Amino acid sequence: MASKILSTDSKTLMKKNLQNEESLITTKTIDENNKQNRSESYTRNEVWFKTELKWINIVTLSLLHLCFIYACFTFNFFENLMTTAWIYGMIIIAGFGVTGGVHRFWTHRSYKAKWQLRTILAACYAAASMNDIFEWVRDHRVHHKYTDTDADPHNSNRGFFFSHMGWLMMKKHPDVIRRGCEIDMSDVLADPIAVFAIKYSSILKFIFAFLLPMMLPVYAWNETWSRAFVSQIFIRYILVLNFTWSVNSVAHIWGSRPYDAHINPTESLFVNCATVGEGSHNYHHIFPWDYKASEFNGSITTNLIKFFSKIGWAYDLKEPSEELIKTVAMNRGDGSHSLWKAVPYSANKIE
């Protein structure tokens, strides 16, 4: 595993750095980036492509979702409210690992974190039991670089199902693989905690996503093993997966576009609630380096990062100036931003 990672690293280091342009961002660079991304002969017309199916994923995900539906109708959520509350507790813990950890920290470097916080983030991320940190970060950097083109792993122009979970059920488009190899991952591989989490991904997932979450209800409040298993594996795990996937599907299809009317990503209240604060996706695609992933404070993840910055474990929290946000919204938004309530919106703002 380690040698595979290191060889990928040395290969990618030979290529140009495709991210981290964030710190110099202006409305001009946003325009230029969008043009650059579209200029690689990527079109929004090529919806279908032929590829191999990943049958193991198709069968596993289908069975898990069938179990989820069965569990939702048969599990007695009122039998022990502690067990029910623990479903929500684990959604927050795993959600923080995804949003505050692999997304805002390892992918976008929107803040810096000391080893104590990085360890917590790695453990919380393992609780979500997704792809390892390397794969997640690489896929998400490609997603931002080539949003909704053939090189986007979950191109939302291919429809809801593909962008939600279908993309995990088949081999990636050749452009996704090609562009993924170009992504600079040296920062992730330079982080010993991330490398440890990548190397021991399977065992960490088993411990933090399944073993400990099931042991707590059994030993802390005498829950049965079967109810602990059903509530944590069939219900909580599938909810966390679908909530995370909804950012790629729901928040690329339905909602308003107050910061850039020319891109698919949207603002979605539903996704915001489900993902502890990742639903301001139109904003996030314009300012991916903002640690809040939103113009506004208030989400659980943002508050947790703020808490860790207070005790010194998180620092260098990045965010754009109010002036820059306003300029972007006025120039590129669809008119749904609250600032238009004071100023009448002109339809000719969208060309």
Q: What is the nearest approach in angstroms of Zn ion to the Cβ of residue 97?
A: 15
Q: CA 93 → CA 17, 42, 113, 223, 266, distances in Å?
A: 32, 38, 17, 20, 25
Q: Which amino acid makes up residue 177? A: I
Site for Zn ion in 13-72 (CB under 5 A): none
Q: What is the nearest approach in angstroms of Zn ion to the Cβ of residue 333?
A: 17
Judged by beta carbon, residue 182 or residue 260, the one nearer Zn ion is: 260
Cβ atoms of residues 272 and 279 within 8 Å: yes
Cβ atoms of residues 142 and 350 within 8 Å: no
Q: At what angle do helices 300-310 and 81-96 cross, to 10 degrees?
A: 70
Q: What is the nearest approach in angstroms of Zn ion to the Cβ of residue 247?
A: 6
Neighbours of 113 (CB within 10 A): 25
Cβ atoms of residues 176 and 153 within 8 Å: yes
Residue 113 β-bridge partners: 314
Judged by beta carbon, residue 109 or residue 205, the one nearer Zn ion is: 109
Q: How many residues does the chain have?
A: 351
Measured distance between the N- and C-terminal CA atoms of the chain, rounded to whole angstroms: 49
Judged by beta carbon, residue 265 or residue 333, the one nearer Zn ion is: 265
The continuous run of DSSP H or E covering 315 comes out as: strand 314-315
Judged by beta carbon, residue 265 or residue 277, the one nearer Zn ion is: 265
Cβ atoms of residues 138 and 180 within 8 Å: yes
Site for Zn ion in 228-287 (CB under 5 A): 265
Q: What is the nearest approach in angstroms of Zn ion to the Cβ of residue 285?
A: 6
Q: Tokens standing for 344?
A: 């009448």
Judged by beta carbon, residue 97 or residue 213, the one nearer Zn ion is: 97
Q: What is the nearest approach in angstroms of Zn ion to the Cβ of residue 293?
A: 7
Q: What is the nearest approach in angstroms of Zn ion to the Cβ of residue 108?
A: 6
Cβ atoms of residues 293 and 278 within 8 Å: yes
Positive or negative, the CA dihedral 22, 26, 30, 35 is: negative
Judged by beta carbon, residue 118 or residue 154, the one nearer Zn ion is: 154
Q: How many residues contact Zn ion, by CB under 5 A?
A: 1
Judged by beta carbon, residue 80 or residue 294, the one nearer Zn ion is: 294
Q: What is the nearest approach in angstroms of Zn ion to the Cβ of residue 138?
A: 13
Residues that bind Zn ion (CB under 5 A): 265
